[in-house]
Amino acid sequence: MIVRTVQETTGTSRHASGPGWDSKRLIVAADNVGYSVHDTTVAEGAEQILEYKHHIEANYCFAGEGEVVDVATGKTYPLRPGSIYVLDKHDRHILRALKGDLRLVCVFNPPLAGDETHEDDGSYAPIGGVGVD
């Protein structure tokens, strides 16, 4: 059984951040469960252009308000507590935190190692070259 808290993850190698975002990786590849789980905050006013080329990601919003834009279609989806969105086709997207910090529980498959930050194209590199295509 794995039991871990956000507080004990803060400030460790499982805590990554960048301009406008902060992520505590509660479950990572080394935990050997086949996915990673993150408590992620996107700061109010932040906008990120992302595309996870090697991962499938699900995001459950539990605080704040924002939106996610499907770059391919231009369609914008509102995000509020209780919303989930899944990037099941490696969708290039724009994520915006509009009202308060956007708080998300993020699940990645395959899992992240824990210390990754976004590449220039908004993706994460696959661990050891293993990714979902």
Using one digit for the tens of pLDDT, what is the confidence trace for 43-54?
999 999 999 888
Give the chain's length: 133
Instruction: Please state the φ and ψ torsions of residue 65, each to the nearest 5 degrees.
Output: -135, 145
8 A C-beta contact, residue 82 and residue 94? no
pLDDT in tens, 15-72: 999 999 999 999 999 999 999 999 999 999 999 999 988 889 999 999 999 999 999 9
Q: Which domains does the chain have, with CATH numbers?
A: 6-109 (2.60.120.10)
**How confident is the prediction for the chain on average, in pLDDT?**
90
Q: Which two tokens stand for residue 62?
A: 């539990």
pLDDT at residue 126, rounded to an integer: 66
pLDDT at residue 67, rounded to an integer: 98
Q: Which two tokens stand for residue 14?
A: 């499982």
Q: How confident is the model at residue 113 (pLDDT cuts 50, 70, 90)?
A: confident
Percent of the chain scored above 90 by pLDDT? 80
| Number of neighbours of residue 121 by Cβ within 10 angstroms | 10
pLDDT at residue 122, rounded to an integer: 62
| Number of neighbours of residue 62 by Cβ within 10 angstroms | 13
Residues ≥6 apart with Cβ < 8 Å to 14? 24, 25, 26, 28, 114, 115
Q: How confident is the model at residue 112 (pLDDT cuts 50, 70, 90)?
A: confident
Q: Tell me the C-alpha to C-alpha distance, in Å, between residue 117 and each of 19, 62, 63, 73.
A: 10, 22, 23, 26
